[in-house]
A = this chain, B = another copy of it.
Amino acid sequence: MEFISIVEIIGTIAFAMSGALTAIEKDLDYYGIGIFAITTSVGGGIVRDLLIDRPLPASLENPLYALISLLSAGFVILFYAHISKLAKMLQFFDAVGLGAFTAIGAEVAVRTGLYQWFVVVTLAVLTGTGGGLIRDVFAREIPYVFRKEVYAIASILGAILYIIVFRLAGSQMALYSCFLATTLIRLYCMEKDVHLLKVGKVTME
């Protein structure tokens, strides 16, 4: 069993919880909660591993990811009755997962020798948003990343911060800065309801 970083554990737990809460919202049973927890938490990483052409996705080699996801789902099942604001909790865990997987995506890019800023940012954003996107497709929702303006933007800003901090203070600092910045930007804009102007539906008359 390979070592998993703390950021990866946090991201896995957060996305698993957001998946479990989505399943509860969709009125699924214990089993559905478990499956949603796993797919949401490993989805981002599988997307990343496919894109960088890894021989086998990390979550397929290492049972830790599925195990952590199932424990998180169990935790949600035990305590869901005490959760008063389901939608808000879901968004909170989603923001933490977004931050964690953005940081991991950026780190994986740099670790596999991809140093161009565009590549680092794109891999970070796809890894960060992939899990939630898969969750929302399976739950038949238009994914967050399409609806919430400061979602991918938080991820992009976090990834840029990663590159800057990486050059100044190395890999570890960059990982944590990116994780925290992405999560906080997302949470702040969620809380303050920051959003861009809507175009409005074009009427056909």
Interface residue stretch chosen among A94-102, A134-142, A165-173: A134-142
Contacts of A31 in B (CB 8 A): 148-149, 152-153, 195-196
Which A residues, 114 to 142, have Cβ-Cβ distances below 8 Å to chain B?
114, 116, 118-119, 122-123, 126, 133, 137-142
Copy count, this protein chain? 3
Contacts of A7 in B (CB 8 A): none
A138 to B129, CA, bound (A): 13
Contacts of A116 in B (CB 8 A): 61
Interface residue stretch chosen among A8-16, A75-83, A174-182: A75-83
Are A60 and B51 in contact (CB-based, < 8 A)? yes
Are A27 and B201 in contact (CB-based, < 8 A)? yes
Contacts of A122 in B (CB 8 A): 60, 66
Interface string of A58-100 (1 = CB under 8 A from B): 0011110010000000000100110111110000000000000
Chain A interface (Cβ within 8 Å of chain B)? 23-33, 35-36, 46, 50-57, 60-63, 66, 77, 80-81, 83-87, 114, 116, 118-119, 122-123, 126, 133, 137-143, 145-149, 152-153, 195-202, 204
